[in-house]
Amino acid sequence: MKRPSPEVRNQRSEIRDQKSAKSASPADLRLLTSDRSLPLISCLFLLLLAVPAQASVFYASTTGTSGGTGAIGSPWDLQTALNKTATILPGDTLYLRGGIYTHAPQSTGPGNEGYIFEVTLTGTAANRITIRSYTGESARLDGGIVAAVLNDGYGHAVARPTLLVGGDGRIGTSTSTTIGAYITVQDLEFFCSSAQTRLSFQDDAHGSFPLDITRSTGVVAQGKGTRIINCVFHDLATGIESFSSVSMDHEYYGNVLFNNGWQGSPHAHGHNFYLQGPVIVTPTNVIKLVKRNYSGPSYDKGVQAYGTGTSYEGHYHFLENVWLGSGATSHGGVLLGMRNGIGANRIMDSQFINNYGYNADLSLYFQQDAIAYQDCLAYGNYFYKVFLQFSSWQTLTFTNNYIFNSAPIVKVASLATNAVAAILPWDFNRNFYWINPGTAPSIATNVWVIEGLAPMTFTSWKSRTGYDANSIVSHTLPTTNNVIVQNNAYDVDRAQVAAYNWSGGTNISINVVPLGWATGDAVTIRNLQNYYGDVFNATVSATRTLNLDMRAASHSVAIPFGDSAALSATSFPEFGAFLLRRTSTNPPAATVTFTLTVASSNPATGVTINMSPPDNNGAAVGTTGFTRIYDTNDVVTLTAPAIGPSSSTFAKWQLDGVDFAVTQAITITNSADATATAFFTSPPAPPAVDFRRGALRRRVL
């Protein structure tokens, strides 16, 4: 379906007006039934009803009002727009004009932290409702500075979402599968502008819900079928949260998350992603897909996907994300696991595939539990400066992963068994480990650990566990760069890059041909460690490449609002993560061709000439006279035979009537029409033979 122009408020199709036919009077109906054309009218009527209504676009702005119409010239305020359940229907789009959107907390009270904005619209699986920034503008939703008020133990600002999608106004307890269902949130920025300190002293009294941190979280996705696409989440209590039992069929794609959370005393709190649920076993349409996001340093985890001793973690698929941590106690790392508790198979169908990490640890468990962990698939991951942890999975496949660690004594892998000496029969194999580079005997090799036992060598690890039979260990880091360029499924002008600079060079060149970008295209390049403060412009080169500056001195790291220092040091020159945005295209110049006419002299026709390469029509060999079409500045080789028709002998080439060469093969580079003529000379006449008086006498004429 063609998207309506955002410049005009499209009205609903007149098909909706057919609903008025339902109110026809009995007399009207009798009149219709008495008409011989009833079959035709009925068919046409049914066909009209079968045609779907055309999707509409509506608008909200920071200056909109509840009395607006939703047109571009009469926008609503944001909360009014998000409540327009009778007007914004499945398939429609709500555009948010540029600017900062704020609101006082809503729906607060005993047992409920409330929210800043709430989506109550309802789409369908076939026709989603999209909420996004207006083209060329940036809509920013600010969680604000809201004093925390303790209401029955739940009135904490850190648990209050800037945007609540789905549910019934409650956080984490909703069971509604219709309110806020099938909503796409796209191209928005979520942040909290508060400059309040990021340090809390209330760990003992309030744990993860302090009263002295008044920073809201980003999006809480409770509805069924939520999509969060290409958004930015920063300086919030948590970026993206999802807890409810019906929060299934979710996709979080292409988002940028960093500097979320706060420092407690002594514990760190707040993550980029905090995910739980749903309570469901069958995998059909329940997957939570986390794909091609950038998760930068946070105060606690990059992702914490785990829950209580009774919660569920079903069908989380982490694919092709970039995880950049601080290297300090797993800040910015990955935690996929479960508290021990009651109930079997509470975490199932977990996938961690083709992810890329730097200074971000990977923990595929939280607490040991002999029955909670059902199955996990982890392969193709590429992590530098990482510590691995495993435990409890009934089924675990950990294969074809690339693990690099350059610290001299750090553990590479740690296995916590469910019982003493109980090693689970996992498929743990064909991995590549680069550890502790150096020269013996300075290389520390006791970096594999089974908890409760002394660190062991790789040989002992294999012997003790039965794992890694076909894996490889090296003490020399690679020298060839590994550069990953990811296109964006929702935006052809957007791409993400992860660059491992093993060569130590000052620049890395990337090929943009797979992105469909062309020479002369203008591109904005953002260092994802300082998304708003480290931005530079570039132009796609003649070879369709872009250069990425890998020098540490060229880059900076964003400092969290309310803090005095960045959460991590720069990853350059070892590693860089970038967001590329094509801002304008440079259409390729029209191709200019020229016609090459190939002729011959003596004879004027019939000489076979070989052409290399073939011309634009694929023609190569020709018999004079003939023409060929080539692009400007194509280099063409013509080869004439040594002997032409009637035994004539090749003599020379002329180009446009001027002697060019006496060799059979010539090369022409031309930007204009031209004629190449091959000249031949006639063979000498045979000698005359004369018979006189029976004697043979030769005479040469």
Domain locations in the chain as residue ranges: 492-584, 593-681
Q: How many CB atoms lie within 10 A of CB 587?
A: 8
Are 42 and 84 contacting, i.e. CB atoms less than 8 angstroms apart?
no
**Parallel, antiparallel or unpaired: strands 649-655 and 622-623:** unpaired
Tell me the average pLDDT across 155-182.
75
Are 215 and 192 contacting, i.e. CB atoms less than 8 angstroms apart?
yes
Residue 251 has pLDDT above 90, yes or no: yes
Report, at the CATH architecture level, how domain 492-584 is classified: Sandwich (2.60)
Question: Residue 393: pLDDT band by 50, 70, 90 thresholds?
Answer: very high
* CA end-to-end span of the chain: 88
The one-letter code for the residue type at 528 is L
Distance CA 111, CA 113 (A): 7
In the prediction, which pLDDT does 401 show? 97
Question: Residue 692: pLDDT band by 50, 70, 90 thresholds?
Answer: low
Question: Residue 330: pLDDT band by 50, 70, 90 thresholds?
Answer: low
Are 302 and 360 contacting, i.e. CB atoms less than 8 angstroms apart?
yes
Tell me the average pLDDT across 542-560.
96
Question: Residue 447: pLDDT band by 50, 70, 90 thresholds?
Answer: confident
Q: Which residue has the higher pLDDT, 30 or 472?
A: 472
In the prediction, which pLDDT does 73 show? 96
Q: Which residue has the higher pLDDT, 197 or 471?
A: 471
CA 112 to chain centre: 35
In the prediction, which pLDDT does 481 show? 97
Tell me the average pLDDT across 388-410.
84
| Residues facing 73 on adjacent strands | none
Rounded to the nearest integer, the mean pLDDT of the chain is: 84
3-state secondary structure of 501: coil
Tell me the average pLDDT across 88-99.
98
In the prediction, which pLDDT does 344 show? 85
Do the two domains 492-584 and 593-681 of this chain adopt the same fold?
A: yes
- Name, of 29-43, 197-211, 317-331, 530-544, the range with top average pLDDT: 530-544
Burial of residue 286 (number of CB atoms within 10 Å: 0-12, 13-18, 19+)? buried
Q: Would you give the DSSP letter of residue 112?
A: B
- Look at the pTM and tell me if it is higher than 0.75: yes
Q: Strand order in 522-527's β-sheet?
A: 482-487, 494-500, 575-584, 522-527, 535-539
- Name, of 275-289, 477-491, 683-697, the range with top average pLDDT: 477-491
Backbone angles phi, psi at 49, to 5 degrees: -65, -25
Q: Which residue has the higher pLDDT, 502 or 107?
A: 502
3-state secondary structure of 681: strand
| Residue among 369, 328, 370, 333 at smallest CA distance from 352 | 333
Q: What is the CATH number of domain 593-681?
A: 2.60.40
Task: Evaluate the CA torsion angle 141, 144, 146, 150 in order and state its sign.
Answer: positive
Distance CA 583, CA 497 (A): 17
Instruction: Give Cβ neighbours of residue 249 (< 8 Å, ≥ 6 apart).
Output: 125, 224, 225, 285, 286, 287
pLDDT tens for residues 344-363? 888 889 999 999 999 998 99
